[in-house]
């Protein structure tokens, strides 16, 4: 059938694009602080175990589903299953929801890059404080709106140019550049005084509590759910992204090996991003504490001396307040590092965003192909971009909950605390907390008990003999469903607690 679905130019191009999808805000922004909040080491070990026994297996399975059917998420589930044919829709719904806030955060990164660039090139301009810059953005919905639109415009232009001409080409330049910039940031972070404290915070079991960064580590079930949700989001799983990217892959390519490389690269970048971000944030916090900085106590409303627990390592403030302060404190070279850092995050966000968009785009183009028509890619990309921009506008106007827009279900479930009145948190809870673990659970049930693992293993074998049959079968039958169930229950408990 002649249609314009597109395909990758080379296996390396595919790998860079898939790593680009995986490496995103999840690695640079949420991984470091979730690890810190969960007390470090146990989270890290669980994360790695889940990556191998669950992430790798689902990754290989999704790539195989896409390549076997030559379809994106909706088409692949339709072609493969009777009972689970609707799961594909879940896998299109989640990326659409995620894009609503991803585009806004991407826009923030753009704005911070421009901010630091202006500090760099305009003589005599003072570096802005993180809190001021962030407050300025949140309280000016128009600004966030414009930067979100700029971010979407870039994604639109890349997607429009097609799978190999746009997505692959962007990642071939963007990913190596990102790795280079990350290396620079790590050297800088580790050469700051007191950087060791940051490393201990991350890798020394129990240190975060002992030293007073956090009051108490969460329980095992909660750490497992956090690590699992993070692992899924970080590896771009259960969102149709890897099914879609797999559908553009040649029959001769080695799926198990590719899956292994993507999972490994994502874990390495998450760890390295932590090392680039956390020690710098902590080192700067310690300098502030020693210089006698004070904070407003939330409980008493009185001014008191700043402590280690006041260093903001969680939530959007890590990226947009704490780190901006780190760059400010570096003096003349600060804006240079700031520009490099926010550009790095921006590239990571763009390469993930185009993969999320591609899930929705492929769904439309597949339908045209099924009717024997040639789909109009530029028109579909424009439509999808506009729909996402409309959704992003709500999140941008909401200003992460500071502007008090209505968030559904808050009263119904009594979960005002869970979303902090924020559309971003609501959307991330719905997609990451519910739709992703549910999607992965259903996918593993379909593969294990309806299709049988053999159906996908045959596809995996096409790229050369790979001895993963026993491992794949046992994991997808027992380990994955059990893990997904625990993660789903843990996430729901977290949301509705
Ligand atoms: N993996 C990306 C990140 O870590 C997010 C993402 C999820 C991208 C799902 C595509 C699909 O930020
Ligand atoms: Na990731």
Q: CA 15 → CA 23, 167, 242, 254, distances in Å? A: 12, 12, 11, 11
24 lines ligand 1 (CB under 6 A): yes
The Cα–Cα gap between 168 and 211 comes to: 45
Q: What is the DSSP letter of 165?
A: I
Spatial CB neighbours of 217, under 8 Å, sequence gap ≥ 6: 38, 39, 42, 206, 208, 209, 223
Q: Which residues pair with 323 in a beta bridge?
A: none
Q: How does residue 410 score in pLDDT terms, banded at 50, 70 and 90?
A: low
Nearest atom, ligand 1, residue 29 CA: 12
pLDDT tens, residue by residue, 455-479: 999 999 998 767 899 999 999 999 9
Q: So what's the pLDDT on residue 37?
A: 80
The Cα–Cα gap between 332 and 328 comes to: 9
Q: So what's the pLDDT on residue 130?
A: 87
Task: Let me know if residue 448 belongs to a domain.
Answer: no
Spatial CB neighbours of 448, under 8 Å, sequence gap ≥ 6: 476, 477, 480, 481
The Cα–Cα gap between 283 and 272 comes to: 17
Q: Which residues pair with 304 in a beta bridge?
A: 295
178 lines ligand 1 (CB under 6 A): no
283 Cα distance to chain centroid? 26
Domain count, the chain: 1
The Cα–Cα gap between 280 and 273 comes to: 11
Task: Let me know if residue 455 belongs to a domain.
Answer: no
Q: How does residue 399 score in pLDDT terms, banded at 50, 70 and 90?
A: confident
Task: Let me know if residue 408 belongs to a domain.
Answer: no
| Nearest ligand to residue 352 Cα | 1
Name the residues around ion ligand 2, CB cutoff 5 A: 22, 24, 26-27, 234
Task: Let me know if residue 307 belongs to a domain.
Answer: no
Nearest atom, ligand 1, residue 436 CA: 9
28 lines ligand 1 (CB under 6 A): no
441 lines ligand 1 (CB under 6 A): no
pLDDT tens, residue by residue, 77-104: 999 999 999 999 988 899 999 999 999 9
Task: Let me know if residue 491 belongs to a domain.
Answer: no
| Interval 403-427 mean pLDDT | 64
Q: CA 89 → CA 54, 73, 464, 486, distances in Å? A: 22, 8, 32, 23
Return the CATH number at 46: 1.10.4160
The boundaries of the domain holding residue 219 are 11-294+313-399
Spatial CB neighbours of 128, under 8 Å, sequence gap ≥ 6: 115, 119, 324, 328
pLDDT tens, residue by residue, 96-138: 999 999 999 999 999 999 999 998 998 777 778 888 888 888 8
Q: What predicted TM-score, i.e. pTM, was given to this entire model?
A: 0.92
Please, is 330 exposed, middle or buried when counting C-beta atoms within 10 Å of its C-beta (0-12, 13-18, 19+)? middle
**Is 0.90 exceeded by the ipTM?**
yes
Please, is 279 exposed, middle or buried when counting C-beta atoms within 10 Å of its C-beta (0-12, 13-18, 19+)? buried
**pLDDT-above-70 percentage for the chain:** 94
pLDDT tens, residue by residue, 265-301: 999 999 999 898 889 889 989 999 999 999 888 888 8
Task: Let me know if residue 212 belongs to a domain.
Answer: yes
The Cα–Cα gap between 376 and 304 comes to: 61
Q: How does residue 329 score in pLDDT terms, banded at 50, 70 and 90?
A: confident
231 lines ligand 1 (CB under 6 A): no
Spatial CB neighbours of 12, under 8 Å, sequence gap ≥ 6: none
38 Cα distance to chain centroid? 18
| Interval 143-167 mean pLDDT | 95
């Amino acid at each position: 059938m002649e249609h314009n679905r597109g395909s990758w130019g080379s296996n390396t191009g595919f790998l860079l694009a898939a790593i680009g999808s995986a490496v995103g805000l999840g690695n640079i922004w949420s991984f470091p602080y979730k690890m810190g909040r969960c007390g470090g080491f146990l989270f890290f070990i669980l994360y790695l175990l889940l990556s191998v026994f669950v992430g790798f297996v689902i990754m290989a399975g999704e790539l195989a589903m896409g390549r076997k059917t030559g379809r994106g998420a909706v088409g692949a589930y339709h072609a493969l299953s009777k009972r689970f044919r609707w799961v594909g829709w879940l896998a299109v719904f989640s990326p659409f929801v995620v894009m609503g806030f991803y585009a806004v955060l991407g826009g923030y990164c753009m704005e911070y890059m421009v901010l630091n660039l202006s500090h760099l090139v305009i003589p005599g301009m003072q570096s802005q404080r993180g809190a001021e810059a962030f407050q300025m953005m949140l309280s000016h919905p128009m600004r966030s709106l414009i930067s979100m639109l700029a971010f979407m415009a870039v994604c639109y232009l890349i997607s429009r140019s097609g799978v190999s001409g746009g997505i692959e080409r962007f990642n071939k330049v963007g990913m190596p550049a990102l790795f280079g910039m990350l290396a620079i940031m790590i050297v800088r972070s580790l050469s700051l005084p007191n950087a060791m404290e940051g490393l201990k915070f991350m890798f020394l079991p129990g240190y975060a509590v002992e030293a007073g960064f956090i009051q108490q580590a969460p329980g095992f079930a909660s750490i497992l759910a956090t690590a699992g949700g993070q692992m899924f989001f970080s590896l771009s799983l259960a969102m149709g992204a890897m099914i879609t990217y797999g559908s553009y892959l040649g029959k001769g390519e080695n799926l198990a090996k590719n899956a292994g490389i993507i999972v490994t690269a994502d874990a390495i970048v998450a760890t390295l991003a932590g090392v680039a971000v956390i020690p710098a944030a902590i080192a700067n916090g310690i300098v502030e504490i020693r210089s006698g900085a004070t904070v407003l106590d939330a409980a008493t409303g009185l001014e008191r001396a700043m402590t280690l627990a006041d260093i903001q390592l969680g939530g959007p403030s890590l990226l947009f307040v704490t780190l901006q302060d780190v760059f400010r404190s570096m003096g003349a070279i600060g804006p240079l590092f700031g520009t490099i850092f926010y550009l790095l995050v921006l590239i990571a966000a763009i390469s993930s965003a185009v993969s999320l968009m591609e899930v929705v785009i492929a769904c439309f183009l597949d339908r045209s192909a099924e009717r024997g028509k040639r789909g109009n890619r530029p028109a579909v990309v424009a439509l999808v971009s506009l729909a996402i921009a409309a959704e992003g506008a709500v999140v941008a106007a909401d200003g992460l909950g500071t502007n008090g827009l209505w968030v559904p279900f808050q009263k119904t479930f009594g979960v005002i605390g869970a979303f902090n009145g924020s559309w971003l948190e609501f959307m991330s809870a719905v997609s990451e907390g519910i739709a992703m673990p549910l999607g992965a659970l259903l996918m593993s049930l379909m593969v294990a008990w309806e299709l049988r693992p053999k159906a996908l293993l045959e596809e995996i074998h096409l790229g050369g003999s790979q001895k993963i049959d026993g491992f794949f079968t046992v994991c997808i039958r027992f380990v994955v469903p059990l893990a997904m169930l625990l993660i789903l229950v843990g996430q729901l408990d977290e949301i509705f607690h």
